[in-house]
Chains A and B, each alone.
Chain A
Amino acid sequence: VQLLESGGGLVQPGGSLRLSCEASGFTFTRCGMTWVRQAPGKGLEWVSSISDSGYVTYYADSVKGRFSASRDNSKNTLYLQMNSLRAEDTAVYYCAKDQWMEQLKAPFDYWGQGTLVTVSS
């Protein structure tokens, strides 16, 4: 199993960024996926989960209405569209695979290496 995030970088407050997570080594089309972030020197924060089909999504209150998770099952790729970015969104963003197929709210058994998003002027 491999999860490879990309798309992080420096963005100004109010700006947008789209993160990608390319998956391999498992049946992506049957697994829910999750984004978790970690601000510098801080703990882990769940951001969003998306079902295997992509039709069902959940978000933390801190990002609801600004972030949108999606997936392209033909490309084995997960996305996180981040709009109206704030300084407090600065973090390493990890994508993680849900442990069991066709089930959300599963433990996260594989994680990507993370991509750093810095929101600053």
Chain B
Amino acid sequence: EIVLTQSPATLSLSPGERATLSCRASQSVSSYISWYQQKPGQAPRLLIYDAFNRATGVPARFSGSGSGTDFTLTISSLEPEDFVVYYCQQRTNWPLTFGGGTKVEIK
């Protein structure tokens, strides 16, 4: 099973700041990493797929990068609605796995 480790668990930033979220895989997943955003009480929403492709309707302030085992989700300038939880997920091997999540909170 491919284990995804997200860091940090909590990121404390202010609106307008840049957020950098990390996802590290226990073995290479090529570029098959997706990022999801989850707001309280809501279902997750696909933000980024295959490492750097923005999903439909996702604002340009969200970007993804990386390959192999190390991936990054960057939010260039945090908006108030961005202070929620983010998960990475790999689709290289079964079982599909998610990281433990990073919560972005207001500092």
**Which residues in A have some Cβ–Cβ distance to B below 8 Å?**
34, 36, 43-46, 49, 58-61, 94, 99, 105-109, 111-114
**Residue of A36, A45, A107, A114 with most chain B CB atoms under a 10 A cut-off:** A107
**Which residues in B have some Cβ–Cβ distance to A below 8 Å?**
32, 34, 36, 38, 42-46, 49-50, 55-56, 87, 89, 91-92, 94-101
In the bound assembly, the distance between CA atoms of A49 and B51 in angstroms comes to 21
Assuming the A-B contacts A43-B100, A44-B36, are A109 and B46 also in contact, with contact meaning beta carbons closer than 8 angstroms in the complex?
yes
Contact of A106 among B87, B91, B92 (CB under 8 A): B91
Q: For residue B44, which residue of chain A has the nearest CB?
A: A111
Contact of B91 among A44, A59, A105, A111 (CB under 8 A): A105
In the bound assembly, the distance between CA atoms of A106 and B92 in angstroms comes to 9
Contact B87 A107 (CB under 8 A): no
Chain B residue numbers with a CB within 8 Å of A59 are: 95
Give, as a whole number of angstroms, the nearest-CB distance from B37 to chain A.
11
Chain A residue numbers with a CB within 8 Å of B36 are: 44, 108
Chain A residue numbers with a CB within 8 Å of B34 are: 107-108
Contact B95 A60 (CB under 8 A): yes
Q: For residue A100, which residue of chain B has the nearest CB?
A: B49
